[in-house]
Amino acid sequence: MKRLLPLLPWLLAPLVQLPFAYGAVVPPEGWRVLVECVAFWGLGLIQLRFAPEGVARSPLVPAALLLLGAAWLHLPAGLVMTFAAVVGLVLLGVVALRVLEPVSSWWAGLLVLLPAVLGQRLVVLSGSHVGDPVGELRKELVGAVSPRIPATSQGPLILLVTVDTLRWDKAQDMESVQRIAAGGGYWPRAMATSSWTLPSLASLMTGVSPDEHGAGASGLGYRSVNANIPLLAEELRAQGYATAAFGANPFASSSTGLERGFELFFHVNERAAHRLTFAGRPVHADNYWAGEGLVDRAVDYLVDAPEQGAFVWVHLLDVHLPHRHASKQSSVLGWRRSDYLNAGIVSPQQRQDTRVGYASEVAYIDHQVLRLLDALAERGLEEDAVILFTADHGEELWDHGDFEHGHSHAGQVIDVPLALRHPGFVGTGEGVASLVDVAPTLLTAAGLSPVGIDLAQGVPAERIAVAVGNKYVAHAASARQGTRRVVQPAQGQAWWVDLAVDPQGLDRQAPLASDPLLRALGQVRLDQSGKAAKVELEALRALGYVE
């Protein structure tokens, strides 16, 4: 038995990786774990049997394999950082061997396994789309040992599902949307509060418009939500709710302040895939469109969530470019926004392929949302839960000569679907609902008395909803009351359309100076006081936001 003690570091080396591997978006399959264990254990037996005395017989070899394997697999080849990291690790290993050579072999190996796996995880995070690798590693370690605080609220379970880039007119046929709306109300053309993600999601989580919460673009950078404005999750947590979020958009990450109040904040960018040394899953940009992986994690949470007093937010990104679930014959499969811009004039066939790819993603997301609903139904919680489904903004598919979002306040970009399942729903589904109504609606359902419109009680017919700001071009704004929309573009004269007779918004007319919607837009001023947000550039590049 004593002769086998030197094998202990080899036996533990594959196992110490598993907490990080299973904590990532897509955990390893069982056969990968088995192969990883066999590889390390086999090498240990070979070392014990054949390695000569000296460095080759050192108990530090498995720890060195963890570090060097991570550098080889995760850091970009050819970069100075890679070279420096590998050389530095080798030099540190030599020094450690000299220092620890007299120490009992298996003890020496065990002592360095923990720092080695922490170093391995840090290398993984450094080579992934993580803005602050050290900070993320610290959060992962704290989260692993922090006990879950039990829910004390007797309020209903609340499920909030938001889909990035979902057009209002493409959501109407989604089975999941119809299923949610059947238990409450449905606003097919609710209004986002901006034409892009960060300010819209900030409004959804605060209940105020972008001219108040401060989150958005700032020159070449971005601003987070003002620290003095409470978020939905913070208020629910203070009410005794267990809170969890699962998301994929870099603008919905910890750096923008949207994680405040969440006991569990599971984000694709921050939970970087942890590739095992010998049998790891290859790491691809597909991690950024891991709708299935995210829903897997959310379903796991819902299976054990409290029947009362739980708030779960799931933000799915797959409908956003690139369309990973499009047909393999598509001429634009995997294209990002920058690819369209660099291609110049896109052919009719490529435009059609883009529309088909978009439809494929909507169908894919529909299936994922149904999985969330089924998870609740299997526990008998769907009927009594409060479920709200919406989007952060839509997507133009050359309806007005342009595409994507962040550039326009046309209805294809600003209007979003909103479905509410609510046991106490008494509204009509009429009026102009807005993303600023989400927070007060859910807070009211939890037993609080917030300021704002509770969608379960209906929306006043005279309500004017406002959207503010673009991402790519200068400031623009729009307002809606009933079926009338007024848009003040970044440049040029304001225009209005009547969606009742012109649903696509093609017949644009100049509004009167006395138009109440135009006056409402004149009172909007963007808040520029938000704290700078460090949004990871590599994550934005993977989406095509930057070159």
User: What is the phi-psi region of residue 120: left when phi exceeds 0, alpha when psi lies from -120 to 50, beta otherwise?
Assistant: alpha
- Does a structural domain hold residue 137? no
H/E stretch holding 30: helix 30-50
Q: Are residues 92 and 222 in the same domain?
A: no
| C-alpha span between 215 and 532 (Å, rounded) | 9
Residue 128 corresponds to which amino acid? S
Which residue do the tokens 């291609």 mark?
343
- Does a structural domain hold residue 146? no
Residue 512, Cα to own-chain centre: how many angstroms? 42
CA distances 419 to 139, 185, 388, 438, 488, Å, are 34, 6, 6, 11, 28
Q: Are residues 114 and 205 in the same domain?
A: no
User: Residue 201: which of 379, 368, 392 has the closest Cα?
Assistant: 392
Q: Are residues 339 and 425 in the same domain?
A: yes
Report yes or no: 207 and 232 within 8 Å, Cβ to Cβ. Answer: yes
Owning domain of residue 446: 158-543
Task: Kindly compute the dihedral angle of the four CA atoms of residues 90, 91, 96, 99, in this order, to the nearest 10 degrees.
Answer: 150
Which of 77, 110, 127 is the endpoint of a domain?
127
- Does a structural domain hold residue 151? no
- Does a structural domain hold residue 152? no
Q: What is the pTM of this model?
A: 0.86
Both structure tokens of 405: 């979002």
Ramachandran angles phi, psi of 216, nearest 5° = 165, -155
| C-alpha span between 185 and 458 (Å, rounded) | 9
| C-alpha span between 288 and 252 (Å, rounded) | 12
- For 438, half-sphere exposure in the C-beta direction (CA atoms, 13 angstrom radius) is 35
Q: Are residues 107 and 215 in the same domain?
A: no
pLDDT along the chain (547 residues), means of 10: 73 88 81 92 86 69 80 61 56 56 61 82 76 78 70 93 96 96 95 95 95 80 88 96 92 87 86 81 56 91 93 95 82 82 83 92 96 97 97 93 87 96 89 97 96 95 91 82 88 84 84 78 60 61 63
Q: Give the pLDDT score at 459.
A: 95
Q: Are residues 45 and 169 in the same domain?
A: no
Q: Give the pLDDT score at 129.
A: 66
Q: Give the pLDDT score at 102.
A: 47
Q: What is the CATH number of the domain that holds 413?
A: 3.40.720.10
Q: Give the pLDDT score at 451.
A: 93
Q: Are residues 114 and 177 in the same domain?
A: no
Q: DSSP string of 329-345?
A: T-TTTT--HHHHHHH-S
- Does a structural domain hold residue 268? yes
| C-alpha span between 511 and 519 (Å, rounded) | 11
- Does a structural domain hold residue 143? no
Q: Give the pLDDT score at 474.
A: 63
H/E stretch holding 247: strand 242-247
Examine residue 156 and say whether the peptide bond preceding it is cis (omega within 30 degrees of 0): no
- Does a structural domain hold residue 153? no
Q: Are residues 390 and 436 in the same domain?
A: yes
User: Residue 150: which of 323, 1, 362, 309 has the closest Cα?
Assistant: 309
Other CB atoms within 10 A of residue 212 CB = 18
Q: Give the pLDDT score at 103.
A: 46
Cβ-proximal residues to 196 (8 Å cutoff; 6+ apart), any chain: 251, 392, 393, 405, 406, 469, 470, 471
Beta bridge partners of 484: 481, 498
Q: Are residues 170 and 123 in the same domain?
A: no
Q: Are residues 407 and 530 in the same domain?
A: yes
Both structure tokens of 193: 């509060």
Give the angle 214-215-217 at the CA atoms, nearest 5°. Answer: 110
The pairing of beta strand 310-316 with beta strand 242-247:
parallel
Which of 127, 145, 178 is the endpoint of a domain?
127
Q: Are residues 207 and 70 in the same domain?
A: no
Q: Give the pLDDT score at 78.
A: 46
Q: Are residues 104 and 250 in the same domain?
A: no
Q: What's 76's DSSP letter?
A: P
| C-alpha span between 29 and 241 (Å, rounded) | 33
Q: Are residues 187 and 333 in the same domain?
A: yes
- Number of domains comprising the chain: 2
Report yes or no: 409 and 167 within 8 Å, Cβ to Cβ. Answer: no
Task: Kindly compute the dihedral angle of the four CA atoms of residues 523, 529, 531, 533, in this order, to the nearest 10 degrees.
Answer: 40
- Does a structural domain hold residue 57? yes
Cβ-proximal residues to 52 (8 Å cutoff; 6+ apart), any chain: none
User: Residue 20: which of 269, 246, 275 has the closest Cα?
Assistant: 275
